[in-house]
Chains A and B, each alone.
Chain A
Amino acid sequence: MGRAVGQGDGRLSYLHVRGVAKSFRDTPVIQDLDLEVRAGEFVSLLGPSGCGKTTLLRIIAGLLAADRGRVTLDGADITRVPAHKRNVGVVFQSYALFPHLTVAENVAFGLRAHGVSAGEIAATVARVLALVRLTDYGPRSIGVLSGGQQQRIAVARALAVKPKLLLLDEPLSALDRKLRETMRIELGHLLHDLGITAIFVTHDQDEALVMSDRIAVMNRGRIEQFDTPAAIYARPATPFVLDFVGMSTRLSGTVVAADGDAMVVETAAGRVRARGQAAVGAAVLVAVRPEHLRIGVGGDNAVSLKVRDRVFLGSKLLVHFEAPGADQIVAELPPEGAAESAPGEPVTVRWSIDATLVYSAP
């Protein structure tokens, strides 16, 4: 890892959002938000609709003015710089291709605005169209393109002007599922290969997990956790992140004993041990990812449960168990290793203390 100063240095913060807040008619949409993105990084803003992720994107693009806070890009404060002087590219959810222009004219639009010479425009248009594998589509009109092709043209148009930062607002959500999965990989590869710094807004956890270097999970105008996909999944920082990313078993309970760096929690399903420190009597939420559950005795934690149903998913088997109240228990098992888990059967489920997540009760 070189520590050379410059755009290629992964350690330096390239985009810096500091204390940004935005309200619409007294309803706070973004609340004192901080975000640091390194050069060349692919960051996803993941969250449910209304969490403020698109608003944050529009503030970074300069399409919306923040009420408070600063935005710095590549060392320059761009908080008050209008969108057309920021050189921050945006791929919109609706693609926002110009319907009165051809494919080539759409891609050339930004180059013309930057006063690039005609010869250079032609060369750049050909190059970016080749990049998105639509070389022969230049003279076509936008209306005759399929959704996937329009999406790629929108990316090509944004890339043509060599933006300092590329923002993508749910660019795959308008595509059908199969195409979305293909484009997820293809777009991810393209942007990684170009080494462009990109921020990708999505409500689809799979998209975020597959494509990103880091994911910022957003909720109610704040970032709940900002980390690598693996860390987000393995160690969700808050119950919200736990709930939003992946499936989990969740049991609410009370701490009945504390012992150094471990605690014992009394839940409706039985006693569960977890790492961490908490006062006796504290209300907590204990959680474990489905793939850490196994059937059979042994292990740090073991509870006896009744099977409710089994969902066969080909490569794996999901088993739901009867759980009291709002709690849920779900196990992901290899399909061959769950013969004894017929619905209605009482079985013992075990998992390790290290796989046990614990949160103070929300």
Chain B
Amino acid sequence: MSVAPVAVTAIAPRRAAVDRVAWLALPGVAYLAVGFAVPLALLLVTSVTRDGRLSVAGYAQFLADPFSWTVILNTLRVAFLTTVVCLLAGYPVAFALARARGPLQGVLLAALILPLSVGVVVKAFAWTILLRTDGLVNRALLVSGLVDTPLRLLFTEPGLVLGAANVFLPFMVLPVFSVVKLIDPRLTEAAATLGAGPLRRFVRVTLPLTMPGVIAGVAFVFSMSVSMYVIPTLLMGDRFKTLSILVARSFLFMRDRSLGSTVSVVLLAIAIAVVVTSALLARRWQPER
């Protein structure tokens, strides 16, 4: 009899502590449930309903149409290229940012984050000005003598990728930066003293250690650029179709809720696949503790 109360008190407070902390998630969960999960569920239901009955005819129809595949490929290609550009441009920036000391780091971080407050519409418009036939980029190219006639940049896919990468760059830089700044700089020095040249140090030490940040950044940028709407609309116009543009047209212009829901779910499936894959990869790269 004397043992039992001890055992109870030993276990009870711990269980209570876990429960109490878990309640902190309640506001967030409630908000997401009302603001996100319910509308999403409605969307899902709509996508598998035809004339009040359960049916996958919407998906069959959508996936049987070659045009749909063009749209899906457009979306994936632009998202992929945007992610690659962000990675190539952002990865070195993250290192410079991590290396910067004192106030300089603060200034650089502000320079990276402040543009986010400008808004996508403004930035996309700014890019239309830059990429116009008589825009800054073309004028610079003409003056430098690299081209004889202005290049067509606006309303082209490279222009779109460039503009989108510019908008999403911080979402690549910040996760990589947060990982880089935690890496002991002695690690690459140790690799050097063991006989590893610059390339081997990067491939065998720096890159693997920054992979968690790279995966997070890629997941961010890819899921954002796969679903972007404003940037392609402004930089490419109506001719170029991505899944987001198709969703918007279905709901807003064609008033086809069924098609809109179906395309939305396809888009969502892609996004989920990216997030799940990156989570699995991130676990694979996490050193054991």
A residues sitting closer than 8 Å to B (CB atoms) are 61-63, 82-90, 92, 94, 96-100, 109-110, 112-114, 141-144, 157-158, 161
Contact = CB atoms under 8 A, between A and B. Distances in A.
B186 interface: yes
Contact of B287 (A82, A92, A99, A161): A99
A177 to B, nearest CB: 24
A84 B208 contact: no
B192 A109 contact: no
B193 A84 contact: yes
Given A92-B190, A113-B200, A87 B205 contact: no
A86 B194 CA distance: 9
19 contacts: A63-B189, A63-B193, A83-B189, A83-B192, A84-B197, A84-B198, A84-B201, A85-B195, A96-B186, A96-B190, A98-B190, A99-B287, A109-B196, A110-B195, A110-B196, A141-B287, A141-B288, A143-B289, A161-B195
Provide the main secondary structure of the chain A interface: mixed
Given A83-B193, A110-B195, A141-B287, 15 more contacts: A83-B189, A84-B195, A84-B198, A85-B195, A86-B193, A87-B195, A88-B193, A92-B186, A92-B190, A96-B187, A98-B191, A99-B287, A100-B287, A110-B196, A114-B195
- What range describes how many residues of B lie at the interface? 20 to 34
Given A99-B287, A100-B208, A109-B204, A94 B184 contact: yes
A113 B288 contact: no
Contacts of B289: 143-144
Contact of B194 (A63, A99, A142, A157): A157
B288 A143 contact: yes
Nearest to B193: A90
A96 B287 contact: no
A158 B193 contact: yes
Contact of A61 (B193, B195, B208, B285): B193
A219 to B, nearest CB: 26
Interface string B198-242: 101100110011000000000000000000000000000000000
B194 A161 contact: yes
Contacts of A82: 192
A87 to B, nearest CB: 7
A150 to B, nearest CB: 12
Provide the main secondary structure of the chain B interface: helix
A68 B64 CA distance: 74
Nearest to B187: A96
A87 B194 CA distance: 7
Interface in B241-289: 285, 287-289
Pairs A-B, 3 closest by C-beta atoms: A110-B194, A96-B186, A96-B190
Nearest to B190: A96
A118 B243 CA distance: 50
A97 B147 CA distance: 51
Contacts of B195: 84-85, 87, 110, 113-114, 161
Contacts of A87: 195
Interface string B5-41: 0000000000000000000000000000000000000
A173 to B, nearest CB: 14
Interface string B164-190: 000000000000000000001011011
A141 B209 CA distance: 14
Contacts of B287: 99-100, 141-143
Nearest to B201: A84
B179 to A, nearest CB: 12
B174 to A, nearest CB: 22
A168 to B, nearest CB: 12
B187 A98 contact: yes
